[in-house]
Amino acid sequence: MAVEPLLLDDDFASLTGAGRTAPSLALLVRPRSAAEAAGALLGRGPRGAIARGRGLAGGDAGQNAGGTVLGLTALDRITGLDRAAGTVVCEAGTELGALARTLLPLGLWPCAGAGRWTAGGAVASGYGQGVEELELLGADGGSRRLRRGDPLFDATVGGLGLTGVVLSVALALRPVETAFLRERTARFPDADALLAHWTGGAPPEPYARARIELTGRGRAVLTTAAPVPYAGLPRGHRARRAPLALPALPGLPLLPRAGGLRPLPGLVRARVPAPFPAYGSGGFVRYRCAVPEGREEALRGLLALLAGRRSPGRAARHARVERVGAGGAGPLAFPVRGWCLGFDAPAGTPGLGRFLDVLDERVAAAGGRVCLAEDGRLRPALLPVMYPRLDAFRELRASVDPRSVFRSDLSRRLGL
Amino acid sequence: MKDALGAPQSLLLLGGTSAIGLATARRLIARRTRTVWLAGRPSPELAAAAGSLRGLGAEVRVVPFDALDTDAHPERLGRVFAEGEVDLVLLAFGVPGDQARDESDPPAAVRVAQTNYTGAVSAALVCAGALQAQGHGSLVVLSSVAGERGRRADFIYGSSKAGLDVFAQGLGDALHGTGVHVMVVRPGAVRPAGAAGRPEAPLTTTPEAVAGAIELGLRRRSETVWVPGPLRLVASALRHVPRPLHRRLPVPRP
């Protein structure tokens, strides 16, 4: 064993997640076809392989130290559209925002949303709703089609890429009449007032997200939005002539937000580069947890802990709270019907590690869980408490991948 | 695997009876460390150290290791890396020697140099190669402020640490971008545990303080850590002090 100049070879790359913490070196292969992906998988080293999209997971889910990482962003073709059934088939590296921009002129919008992440990444991290069918490359190099309801399908959605490499995805679409949402914001003096409003019979809306200040006065802003039908556009609005046109300039909405109209998410943001996060050189830690419905007092407790006088959580400046309508089906699926709380804290914050461990304990005690796709620091002992069906996942994984070909830094760290 | 905050899950401590090494191990076990390999010459102290770490809840394995037996390093340390992932290698062995006696006993002086320098070079290269194959991990090398500039009082020990320090800096640059992180720790004079009652000399430190600085350095992925922090400025100033004056300066004693 000697120190070898590995970096002379361009194929080796030091990879991190979006949080830019805990880098590790891997052989980064960029297959351009399913056959090349299978070839790279069969040619892997002893430390296994994992698929990676655009590297937007907050933690180490898309890293494989000393092993192979399949960067799938070159697999970005849209291969089929069934307008009658309302589905589109695309390769795993297709960016959901690019897919949405392509489909918008046809009056269609992916139910999985239009983020900057890839379709395969959305499946593996469990964020994507409306996944109908997927093609999975197994450990033996053979691919198989899986439909919703198959146990392997359920384990793959939210399965962190540990069941195989997603090669292509069939996504459900919904019709849209215009490229706009009508946005409403409501302001509350504190988080308690927000939760009282939210639980007090406010009508559910498809997009609802709250932002709570952790410093200062602790105010909360709730933003809700609903798609605008053509008839709902204001009289004389420019969009009446071209309701499905893409916004003209990157970074600028079509029109000033008069009347509370704003473009569908993903149309504008996806065209501009990601904003440089102001977390300093040490990167950041993304914390995202779910708390089940009916345990609002636990959510209040978490928020109070975050905004406490000497809390390291205050370094995050604000927290996001969303309402989650339905739980996930798979054994490692993150969504729980209830609440989702998230924030990004600079990794250099003193005392952050111990503080997040305390949050983990509270979340687990409330029957909630931490999102593994964003996680970079969970204590492995808490995993079976948060994910009670972990053993089912391990059994399934042992049956489809007995030699643990699919491995990531996350699976090593948590002993998945 | 190290987590996003730099806390390792497994630790290989080279120099299993080192006070700084054990203080660091205790501190890391309180965070995420579950597996510890204690490498050192078999002795009752090593067994006692293993027992005390087991009492904290870690799984401890003892590895027979002699810094002077460099031929056995690849096999001994290779076996550790074959047993599992090693997130952190802490190179903490070293002997202070007895300056006054060693000056008149060249073989003893050579033993100090071999333990602190050549033994450490061999072990660090073996570990660096294994960490590189693993694609991640940290190598923390305990240097000393004594290696910063030659001093009348401890130049045999100081020269061995000076060599190790430069070696570790270069190794860190060689491994830059490979996912492996090399950190040089330069503590001032370390007070032994029994000296708690005595008045503190300026710029001396304790094993616990060094352990805290190592934990912080891992989180920040620092390349050089001085303990205590202000020692960095003092050492920088001392580097420029004219030699006749430097010769007359007192050496802080723990």
pLDDT digits (tens, 9 = 90+) for B221-235: 999 999 999 999 999
User: Which DSSP helix (H) or strand (E) runs through B59?
Assistant: strand B59-64
Q: Which of A2, A12, A60 sits opposite B1 (nearest CB)?
A: A60
CA distances from A255 to A146, A237, A248, A299, B85 (A): 43, 9, 10, 37, 55
Report the amino acid identity of residue B2.
K
Which of helix, strand or coil describes residue A380? helix
Q: Which chain B residues are closer than 8 Å to A5 by Cβ?
A: 174
Domain layout of chain B by residue ranges: 10-248
For the ranges A190-194, A202-206, B123-127, B212-216, the lowest mean pLDDT is seen at A202-206
Tell me which of B202 and A165 has the higher pLDDT. Answer: A165
Kindly tell me if the per-residue pLDDT of A272 is higher than 50.
Answer: no
pLDDT band at A225 (very low <50, low <70, confident <90, very high): confident
Beta bridge partners of A93: none
pLDDT tens over chain B, length 254 residues:
999 999 999 999 999 999 999 999 999 999 999 999 999 999 999 999 999 999 999 999 999 999 999 999 999 999 999 999 999 999 999 999 999 999 999 999 999 999 999 999 999 999 999 999 999 999 999 999 999 999 999 999 999 999 999 999 999 999 998 999 999 999 999 987 665 566 667 788 999 999 999 999 999 999 999 999 999 999 999 999 999 999 998 876 65
Contact A184, A221 (CB under 8 A): no
Q: Report CA B69 to chain centroid distance, whole Å.
A: 18
Contact A191, A212 (CB under 8 A): yes
Q: For B177, which residue in chain A has the nearest alpha carbon?
A: A14
User: Which DSSP helix (H) or strand (E) runs through B62?
Assistant: strand B59-64
Q: For B8, which residue in chain A has the nearest alpha carbon?
A: A413
Alpha carbons within 13 A on the beta-carbon side of B47: 3
Q: Which of B1, B78, B178 sits opposite A413 (nearest CB)?
A: B1
- Sheet with B224-227, side-by-side order of all strands: B59-64, B35-40, B10-14, B88-91, B137-142, B180-187, B224-227
Both tokens assigned to A60: 């180490």
Q: According to the model, what pLDDT value does residue A105 have? A: 92
Q: CB distance A4–B174 less than 8 Å?
A: no
Q: According to the model, what pLDDT value does residue A6 have? A: 47
- What's the rounded mean pLDDT across residues A268-287? 66
- Answer whether A65 touches B (CB < 8 Å): yes
Q: What proportion of chain A, given as a percentage, has pLDDT over 70?
A: 91
Q: Which chain A residues are closer than 8 Å to B2 by Cβ?
A: 22
- CATH architecture of structural domain B10-248: 3-Layer(aba) Sandwich (3.40)
Q: According to the model, what pLDDT value does residue B101 have? A: 95
pLDDT band at A325 (very low <50, low <70, confident <90, very high): confident
pTM exceeds 0.90 for this model: yes
Task: Tell me the nearest-neighbour CA distance from A384 into chain B, angstroms.
Answer: 17
